[in-house]
Amino acid sequence: MAKPTGFLEHARMEPPKRRVPERIADYREIELFLPLEDLQSQAARCMDCGVPFCHAFGCPVLSVIPEWSDMAYRGQWRRASDLLHSMNNFPEVTGRVCPAPCEAACTLALNQEPVTIRHVELQIVERGWQEGWIRAEPAPQRTGRRVAIVGSGPAALAAAQQLSRIGHEAVVFERANRIGGILRYGIPDFKLEKWLLDRRLEQMRQEGVTFETGVSVGTDISVHYLRRTFDAVILATGAGAPRDLSVPGRELKGIAYAMDYLTQQNRRNAGEAIPPEQQITAAGKHAVVIGGGDTGADCVGTCRRQGALDVCQVELLPRPPEQRTPDNPWPTWPLILRSATSHEEGCRRLWGVLTKEFVGRGGRVRGMRCVELEWSGPDERGRRTFHEIPGSQFELAADLVLIAMGFEHTEHGALSEELGPVLDSRGNVAADAGFMTGVLGVFATGDCITGASLVVRAIALGRQTAEAVDRWLTRR
């Protein structure tokens, strides 16, 4: 453990952030590092709690949080880095974008602020890169087995790295022109600068992972070809089918899906030219984001940086409480009000609002007709219902509307049609406990089997799938 009395002596400290006027002028990372002395005092808060719920309940990759927190407190940084990487392939990513379910499950959270786990993790991994401790780990010998991975998000990359380190040949196929999936195109640069991703991809190349970009499996090449050419295939295509809003006026120009909007800005940041007729921008516009989750918040921050006149975020659900309610006890995920860094940058937030209609002029959206909702309490199954409040109708000015209402399932198309009936009732890829689909030798992992979820959960599933594929290839 770290210092036995650390949690009694030190209060939680949040990492500093760049000032709002400075950061909205660019797309560089927002969060800064705590000074070393303060970081070690934060690590010292990790108490001898007996059962580390942060590790066993909160963290999908089962990261050994108490152990590497202790090493950070003691200044044993290399050992801390080794412990951190033993369960997590990409801690520089989770240390930046994870919502930290480990912190919600921290035993201190019973009656204090939890340990600053995520930021300690981030500084450990960055110290590892700075000192040169994080290097390629190629397999001592090759097995001669080949595995194709379709997709290049966190689940795909974790599976590819694990398989390559075992000794199998891992080839990642990505339809976009760059590797990374949601990490590359969906997460804004101000949360995850892409040189960080490129740094890790170079390590993977040195370990023997091959990346094939601009290849759409199901169109450019078939799954049948992959099955003939490789010993196993892993589908890691994510959950990219967005949930739509079918109301009058949906066909108006100026209404876009959040992920299309975020992807386009990330492409601009990478130096790609976007044809004028395809550009989605909030510059000089009244922007409305429909959806109150992380993707919606990312849209808010991007709108601010593009120079929106104003930004409004609309959420169907009621405003969450400030603190846990009795039916939401520790160590479950706290269903409380959360504000992202993007909200700090200027945004009006409306809760319990239903969009009834988009209104426009000249074929372009100019506003939204909305109504306020009243929600019931939860029934015995935890379900709630709502009804419209009479006389509560109102309009919002909107020159740009971004739909950030989540995702329904993995994208359906040539790939799923070729595989046949391998989808479950929700439209995701169906796989058994060993991650194999109904097609022999074809596995699936990540969001394409679970629906949209956390990056850290995708990494965990990618690692588990690599283990399952290895067992199947070697019949252990």
* pTM assigned to the model: 0.96
Averaged over 197-206, what is the pLDDT? 98
State both tokens at 17.
Answer: 């952030």
- Cα maximum dimension of the chain: 72
**Average pLDDT of span 371-382:** 88
* Closest to 258 (Cα-Cα) out of 301, 319, 208: 301
Q: In what order do the strands lie in the sheet with 310-314?
A: 255-257, 400-403, 286-290, 310-314, 348-350
- The Cα–Cα gap between 461 and 467 comes to 10
pLDDT reading at 409 higher than 60? yes
Residue range 356-377: average pLDDT?
96
Give the separation between CA 242 and CA 83, rounded to whole angstroms. 37
Question: What is the chain's Cα-based Rg?
Answer: 23
| Whole-number Å distance between alpha carbons of 300 and 186 | 14
Asked whether residue 1 carries a pLDDT value surpassing 60, the answer given is no
List, for residues 203-250, the tens digit of each pLDDT value.
999 999 999 999 999 999 998 999 999 999 999 999 999 999 999 999
Percentage of the chain lying above the pLDDT 70 cut? 99
DSSP lists the bridge partners of residue 402 as 256, 289
Give the residue from 409, 406, 407, 450 showing the smallest Cα distance to 316. Answer: 406
380 — pLDDT class (breaks 50, 70, 90): confident
Instruction: Place 401 in a pLDDT band, splitting at 50, 70 and 90.
Output: very high
The bridge status of strand 386-388 relative to strand 400-403 is unpaired
- For the chain, domains (ranges, CATH) are 6-18+31-131 (1.10.1060.10), 146-240+408-474 (3.50.50.60), 280-405 (3.50.50.60)
pLDDT averaged over every residue in the chain: 95
Q: How far apart are CA 417 and CA 421, in angstroms?
A: 8
pLDDT in tens, 317-331: 999 999 999 889 999
Q: If we measure between CA atoms, which residue out of 35, 34, 157 comes closest to residue 460?
A: 157
User: Which tokens is 78 given?
Assistant: 């290399």
Cα–Cα distance, 333 to 315 (Å, whole number): 20
Distance CA 320, CA 360 (A): 32
H or E element that contains 375: strand 364-375
Residue 186, CB-side half-sphere exposure with 13 Å CA sphere: 24
Please name which of 182, 282, 286, 188 lies closest in space to residue 240, comparing C-alpha atoms: 182
Would you place residue 475 in the very low, low, confident or very high pLDDT band (cuts 50, 70, 90)?
A: confident
* Torsion from C-alpha of 408, 417, 466, 470, nearest 10 degrees: 160
